[in-house]
Structure formats: C-alpha cells, structure tokens
Amino acid sequence: MRRALWLAVALVVWLQCRGTSPCKLAAHWDAPKPHYDYLQYVSLKSDGTGEMVMGEGQLVRSEVSVRYRVKSDRITFSYVTGSRARSRMIRVRIDEGDFVVVEPDYDRERERHFRCRLHFAENPFPPDVMSDDHLDYYGCER
C-alpha cells in the first residue's frame, strides 16, 4: 500500500515539475536529510489538504494530516489528525532557481538539484509532534 502511495506521489510530482512552469505550493516538498535513513516532508494538494511526515531510523515518528488556506504570503494550517494542536498561521515564500542540496547517501555524499524552494518563517509541524526545525523544503527535483 505504501509503495503504491509513493508511486502515485512521484507521478504527481513529475507531472507538476516538468518543463518551466512556475513553482506551485500544491506539491511535494522534501527537507534536506542529515543522514541517509531520514525523512521529513510536507505534501500539499490543490484541494487544500495535505500531510506532514517525519521519520528516521526506519520508523515514522510523526504523521500529521492537515488542511490549509493561503492568504497573501501566509499559510494557515489546521491540524486534522496526528496532533492535539488546532491551527496556526505561518509566513511562507516560494523561490525558483537551481538549489543544490548535499545529502549523505550511506558512505558518501550526493548532490540533489531542485528547481523550487519553499521557505517557512517557522517550523510548519505542530509543536506537539516530533520534527526537526527545517524552514526550507525543496521540490521539483531535476
């Protein structure tokens, strides 16, 4: 089931990121990995729903379902499941360019190139769940 979900997300990301269309908020956004078995991402759908996931050491540590609304340069997250927090508003910015992220890959480092960067003014995860304080998330890998 998780493999099918991953393949569906990968297909959507590929379709959204091909070509030179502008970066869109409704996409899959990865945080840089401090070690090879780490995962932290924010995935936002165009229908105003999404999820935030953090995992390491082969375990998912946090999985939060969200609803979101955007007004100007702010996003309001309503935490639906996975957190006792209600909601909060965060300043957000999308940048386009060539962003190089160097990540560990077992015994060596690997460069990943992205076209889009999503910057949050503060950690988007709710305060009562496990996550690292990443402010920059990357999408549209080249």
Looking at residue 44, its pLDDT comes to: 98
Supply 84's token pair.
């006792």
Q: Which of 17, 54, 14 is nearest to 38 (CA)?
A: 54
28-84 confidence digits (pLDDT tens): 999 999 887 899 999 999 999 999 999 998 889 999 999 999 999 999 999 999 999
Looking at residue 5, its pLDDT comes to: 46
Looking at residue 131, its pLDDT comes to: 94
- Rounded Cα distance, 1 and 44, in Å: 20
**Residue of 57 and 134 predicted with greater confidence:** 134
Looking at residue 3, its pLDDT comes to: 53
Looking at residue 42, its pLDDT comes to: 98
Looking at residue 16, its pLDDT comes to: 53
CB atoms within 10 A of CB 34: 12
**What percent of the chain is predicted at pLDDT more than 70?**
86
- Rounded Cα distance, 125 and 77, in Å: 9
Q: For the domain bounded by 2-141, which CATH number is listed?
A: 2.40.128
Supply 38's token pair.
């780490």
What number is the average pLDDT over the span 5-23?
Answer: 57
What number is the average pLDDT over the span 8-15?
Answer: 49
What number is the average pLDDT over the span 92-120?
Answer: 94
Q: Which of 96, 84, 95, 92 is nearest to 124 (CA)?
A: 92
Q: Which of 93, 62, 51, 96 is nearest to 75 (CA)?
A: 93
CB-count exposure of residue 19 (10 Å: 0-12, 13-18, 19+): exposed
Domain ranges of the chain: 2-141
